[in-house]
Homo-oligomer: A and B are copies of this chain.
Amino acid sequence: MNDWTFSEAERAAVYRAIHTRRDIRSTFLPQPIPDAILWRLLGAAAAAPSVGFMQPTEIIVIRDAEVRRQIHAHFESVNRAAAEVYTDADRRAYDALKLAAIIETPLNLCFTCDTTTQRGRGLGRQTMPETAVFSTVCAVQNVWLAARAENIGVGWVSILEPETVKTRLDIPAHLTLVAYLCVGYVSEFPAQPELETKGWEHARDLTEMVYFDRYGVRQP
């Protein structure tokens, strides 16, 4: 054991966060998130990996009710359009899903990425410039798991026009909007993903997702 070694109990806790994290839409409670806990979540974002250590992520903490109302109104409008691609049973299933909790949650977090920053001096971004934005996604996942460990739920809303959200939040044109999260305490963490429970999609078998040495090879 070194001082950097994780114990079995610590390892189990990390896996527990990974496996019981959920995309929460409908079990949020209104109670506010204390500032000390908010800053722990933000600290988890700052600890995320970034290509070339460029740290391109900035986060807007949204608690103002009027700002959230504006984002919610935009979501409603975009979601009506999104529903139009579904027909019959699919449309009824889609309409029965709750897909955002912008108003009900006391806290929204908007993640942006500055792909133009000189920080990191371009290291690692010549052949895969998309890794700048990927760095911000890693920050989102860190926050999601930290929130789970705080017994706080998170729902990622992607039914938004990035440019409209940027305008509403005064986000400069050169920044990329990466994620918009609804964050709050919950009455429960469901055992299964909600889209699985509601029959929207089934879970894949792990073995179906894995190949060995080359794509398509099932056994090592």
Contacts and interface: CB of A to CB of B under 8 A. Distances in A.
Interface of A: 2, 4-6, 9-11, 13-21, 23, 39-40, 42-49, 51-55, 57-64, 67, 78, 81-82, 85-86, 90, 94, 97, 99, 112, 119-128, 130-131, 133-134, 137-138, 140-142, 144-146, 148-151, 156, 158-162, 169-172, 175, 178-179, 188-189, 193, 195-196, 200-201, 203-204, 206, 209-216, 220
A20 B44 CA distance: 11
Contacts of A144: 49, 138
B60 A44 contact: no
The list of the 10 closest CB pairs from A to B, nearest first, reads A13-B13, A10-B13, A14-B149, A53-B195, A137-B137, A141-B141, A53-B201, A11-B149, A124-B158, A64-B213
Contacts of A78: 126-127
A18 B142 contact: yes
Given A49-B144, A61-B210, A204-B55, A85 B126 contact: yes
28 contacts: A4-B189, A10-B16, A11-B13, A13-B14, A14-B145, A14-B148, A18-B142, A39-B206, A43-B206, A51-B156, A60-B212, A63-B212, A63-B213, A85-B122, A94-B123, A99-B123, A123-B195, A123-B200, A128-B160, A137-B137, A137-B138, A138-B144, A141-B141, A141-B142, A169-B215, A170-B214, A170-B215, A171-B215
A169 B214 contact: yes
A156 B21 CA distance: 24
Nearest to A160: B127
Given A158-B51, A195-B53, A150 B6 contact: yes
A55 B60 CA distance: 28
B55 A203 contact: yes
Nearest to A94: B123
Contacts of A220: 61, 63
What is the total number of copies of this protein in its complex? 2
Contacts of A170: 214-216
